[in-house]
């Protein structure tokens, strides 16, 4: 029996891919963004993609369509408002935080046996509204519906993802206490008898074609050399070539500055060519243009990685395909939409809100690494199978979450 999944806030489909690989049947997904939805449809043609603002999907529709038919509801409400690195540190609470309530509205309507919610670590101390801590809200809302809850912070690199990315997972179950639902690490900084060594950046992307600034093709392009790591061999399976491997259009001056950056160095520290100067830096942002280290997992791939990281050997920022590899997407996974996009504030300023979609870079940086999704999917599947849940009766869908 294949247990059925509804993936909310699905983005380009990283969690959908991971759960499918774990053995779940992802039958439907919801995503509001046009380009992310296009990517999801392209790579998951058998999944019904409901492209809509979740707030506009009526509870009665959800009940009629999914009640008694979905075993697992999964998803990650937008995380930017819960990140401690953004405006939250100044007391700002984003309106998007209230989408957690929409997630719970779906749970109340569908009543799956198990629910999975993913978010940043800062979610644990975040607020939906002033004075309304999100974890307290979730615990109360799930309890009202008869669910028991467990949470754990997982590090993606510990599950074979070649980049550091810590994420909080919340599992809620009405088929028994969700114990042992979280996977045990398979990798660590040092290999041991039971753990493999973390996959390094170079073991992840070192076989991809060398590019200078302004070079590359959306694809498919031929591989320029044979894979030299097990990770690379796996990523190439079922692929007809290299997609989304296009370098940024850096100026010659910026390329020259990048050549000065040692691995682990930052553009913030580099001034005029050949000397340091506080008056002429590569960037005024301390987090931008950091040169990645080749023999360790990459730093966390974020939605803004297009300007955050510099290739460890080539004087340019990462391509979308390199970042996709670092997030554990296979080469057969193709990203649609523009590679980069103007900021939302810029588009709004000039009345171009109708052009505000998630670029390939945004889609990758916002997503759940498929290998991490697969790891938790496997333990969730085992939990459901061992619960004897198929013998449990369906529940009334009259319960509500206020």
Active site residues: 79
Distance CA 39, CA 140 (A): 35
Residues 6 or more apart whose CB falls under 8 angstroms from that of 265 comprise: 290, 291
Taking alpha carbons only, the member of 325, 336, 332 closest to residue 369 is 325
How far apart, in Å, do the first and last CA atoms of the chain sit?
Answer: 34
Enter the tokens of residue 3: 């247990």
Query: 150-156 — which CB contacts under 8 Å span 24+ positions?
Result: 150/177, 150/178, 150/179, 150/181, 150/182, 151/124, 152/182, 153/121, 153/124, 154/182, 154/183, 154/372, 154/375, 154/376, 155/185, 156/328, 156/369, 156/371, 156/372
Distance CA 152, CA 286 (A): 30
SS3 of 315-362: CCECCHHHHHHHCCCCCCCCCCCCCCCCCHHHHHHCCCHHHCCCCHHH
Alpha helices by DSSP H, listed for 176-304, are 201-205, 230-236, 252-258
CB atoms within 10 A of CB 287: 16
């Amino acid at each position: 029996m294949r247990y059925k999944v509804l993936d909310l806030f699905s983005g380009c489909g990283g969690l959908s891919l991971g759960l499918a690989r774990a053995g779940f049947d992802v039958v439907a997904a919801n995503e509001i963004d046009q380009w992310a939805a296009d990517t999801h449809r392209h790579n998951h043609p058998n999944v019904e993609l409901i492209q809509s603002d979740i707030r506009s999907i009526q509870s009665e529709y959800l009940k009629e369509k999914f009640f008694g038919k979905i075993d697992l509801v999964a998803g990650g409400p937008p995380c930017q408002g819960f990140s401690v690195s953004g405006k939250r540190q100044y007391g700002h609470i984003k309106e998007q935080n209230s989408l957690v309530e929409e997630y719970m509205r779906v749970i109340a309507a569908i009543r799956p046996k198990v629910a999975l919610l993913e978010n940043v670590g800062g979610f644990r101390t975040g607020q939906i509204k002033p004075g309304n801590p999100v974890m307290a809200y979730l615990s109360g809302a799930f309890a009202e519906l008869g669910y028991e809850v467990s949470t754990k912070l997982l590090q993606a690199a510990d599950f074979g993802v070649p980049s550091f990315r810590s994420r909080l997972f919340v599992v809620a179950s009405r088929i028994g206490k969700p114990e042992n639902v979280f996977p045990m690490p398979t990798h660590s900084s040092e290999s041991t008898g039971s753990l493999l060594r973390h996959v390094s950046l170079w073991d992840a992307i070192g076989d991809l074609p060398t590019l200078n600034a302004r070079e590359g093709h959306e694809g498919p392009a031929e591989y320029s050399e044979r894979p030299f790591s097990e990770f690379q061999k796996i990523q190439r399976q079922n692929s007809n070539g290299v997609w989304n491997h296009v370098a940024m259009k850096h100026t010659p001056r910026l390329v020259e500055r990048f050549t000065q950056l040692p691995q682990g160095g930052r553009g913030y520290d580099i001034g005029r060519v050949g000397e340091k100067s506080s008056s002429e830096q590569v960037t005024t942002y301390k987090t931008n243009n950091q040169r990645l280290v080749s023999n360790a997992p990459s730093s966390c791939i974020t939605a803004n990685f297009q300007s955050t990281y510099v290739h460890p050997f080539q004087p340019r920022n990462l391509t979308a395909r390199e970042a996709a590899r670092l997030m554990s997407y296979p080469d057969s996974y193709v990203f649609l939409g523009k590679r980069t996009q103007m900021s939302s504030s810029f588009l709004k300023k000039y009345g171009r809100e109708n052009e505000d979609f998630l670029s390939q870079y945004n889609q990758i940086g916002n997503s759940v690494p498929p290998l991490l999704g697969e790891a938790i999917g496997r333990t969730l599947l085992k939990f459901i199978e061992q619960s004897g849940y198929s013998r449990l009766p369906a529940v009334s869908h009259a319960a509500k979450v206020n």
